[in-house]
Amino acid sequence: MTFSLKEKSQQILAQADIRINGDRPWDIVVHDERLYKRVLSQGSLGLGESYMDGWWDVKNLDEFFTKVLSMRLDRRVSQTKRILQSIASVLFNKQSLKRAFEVGERHYDIGNDLYKAMLDKRMTYTCGYWSGHPPALGLEEAQEQKLDLVCRKLKLQPGQKILDIGCGWGSFAKYAAEKYGVSVTGITISKEQAALARTLCTSLPVEIILEDYRKISGTFDHIVSLGMFEHVGYKNYRTYMEVASRHLKDNGLFLLHTIGGNETTLIGDPWFDKYIFPNGMFPSIAQIGKAVEGLFIMEDWHNFGADYDKTLMAWFTNFDAAWPRLKSKYGDRFYRMWKYYLLCVAGSFRARDSQLWQIVLSKNGVPGGYQTTR
C-alpha cells in the first residue's frame, strides 16, 4: 500500500495526538500542501522555515512542540542530513577562535531595544529560578532569585574578585557588586552587550571586556558562567575547562550554568544554527564529565530545567506585547521566527527534552564538603 506524503505526515503526527487541520490548540493548520515534502526531506530546518514562510500555523506553538518532543518525533525525520552534519562537525571546529564573535554579531547584537522589551529589568538572558522558597511570582522575582542563588552558591564575600564568562548585559556583575560587595570582570563577544553593560554598571567595581574566553588574563577568587557554555562546542569543552582552571584560585569555586541535552550529540539543531544561535549546541552529562576530569571536583549538580519553560513563556508574553512598537524595525517574518524560537524551546523544556544545569566545581574539593544551596 502506497501512502501520500500527507498521509505519512498524518501517521507521524498522530503518534503525538496531533491532527492536520484539527481544531485543538496544538493541532497544525496547513496553508500550503508543499509543507509535507519540505519537512519530510529537510527535517527541523524545513519545519522552521516553512513556519516563517507562513505555510502552517498552530494556535499554541508551545503545546505543539511539547507533544512533538515528548514523543521524539523530531528524531524520525531526515536522519540522513543529521548524519552528514555530524560528519562535518567532526572535520571542522565550528566554534574556533576565528569564529568566536559570529554568534555575538548575529544574535546578541540584533538590537538592545528587542532585549529590553523581552527580558526583565536587569536584562538577564538566562533561566529564572521560579522554584525557590518561596516560589517566584513573576519574571522579575525569578531572575532576582536566580542571581542571588548563584551568589549564595559561590559563597561570595566582600572584596573578592569574580570572573563572569559570557556576562551578557551585566546583570550578574551588577547584582553581585551591589548586593555582595565584590568586583567583577565580565567578558562577552557581543559589542552591543558590552556597550550597554558598561553603562548599566557605571560607578560599580565592574569591568566589561569584549573578548573571547580563550584570551582571559588574571586569577580570580571565583568564576561564574551563565548561559555561555552552549556556544563553546564539543571540540572546545576541554579547552574551556582548562581556561577556567587556570584562572581560578586554588580554593575558589566555578559555577557553570548551562542548558544540557539528554544525549551526547556532535551538532546543534540546523534551524537554530541558521537563524538563532550560529554554531551552538547543548552539552551532555557525559561530555561535561569528560571535560572536567582531572581538573575539577564536582561539588553540586542542580537541575531546574522545568523553570526555563516559565521563563521562555514570560519572555514571549513580553515580546508579543511589545511587538507593535518593534514591528516597523524587525518585520513580520522576524516575528514568526522569534515566536517559533521562544515557543519551540519552551516546549522542549516542558517535554523534558532539554535541561538546565547549575554545576558547582572546585579544584581540590571543599574542605569538609560543599554545603548545598537551593
130 with 260, same domain?
A: yes
Q: State the residue range of the domain holding 280.
A: 97-329+354-362
d(CA 54, CA 101): 31
Q: What is the pLDDT of residue 348?
A: 97
23 with 63, same domain?
A: yes
310 with 213, same domain?
A: yes
Angle made by CA atoms 304, 307, 313, in degrees to the nearest 5: 155
227 with 192, same domain?
A: yes
**Assigned domain for 83 exists:** no
Q: What is the pLDDT of residue 86?
A: 44
Q: Please report, for the domain that includes residue 241, its CATH number.
A: 3.40.50.150
225 with 161, same domain?
A: yes
105 with 46, same domain?
A: no
**Assigned domain for 265 exists:** yes
Tens place of pLDDT for every residue, the chain, 374 residues?
Answer: 456 999 999 999 999 999 999 999 999 999 999 999 999 999 999 999 999 999 999 999 999 999 999 998 876 655 545 544 444 444 455 656 656 678 788 899 999 999 999 999 999 999 999 998 899 999 999 999 999 999 999 999 999 999 999 999 999 999 999 999 999 999 999 999 999 999 999 999 999 999 999 999 999 999 999 999 999 999 999 999 999 999 999 999 999 999 999 999 988 999 999 999 998 999 999 999 999 999 999 999 999 999 999 999 999 999 999 999 999 999 999 999 999 999 999 999 999 999 999 999 999 999 999 999 99
User: Model pTM?
Assistant: 0.93
Last residue of a domain, one of 77, 105, 139: 77
35 with 119, same domain?
A: no
166 with 257, same domain?
A: yes
**Assigned domain for 82 exists:** no
**Assigned domain for 84 exists:** no
**Assigned domain for 101 exists:** yes
DSSP 8-state class, residue 16? T
Q: What is the pLDDT of residue 212?
A: 95
**Assigned domain for 337 exists:** no
CA distances to 3, 14, 56, 155 from 21, in Å: 18, 12, 10, 54
177 with 72, same domain?
A: no
Q: What is the pLDDT of residue 79?
A: 53
Cell matching residue 8? 505519512
Alpha helices in 208-331 (DSSP H): 237-247, 270-275, 285-292, 306-330
**Assigned domain for 275 exists:** yes
What is the number of domains present in the chain? 2
As a whole number of Å, the end-to-end CA separation of the chain is: 57
**Assigned domain for 371 exists:** no
Angle made by CA atoms 106, 348, 92, in degrees to the nearest 5: 45
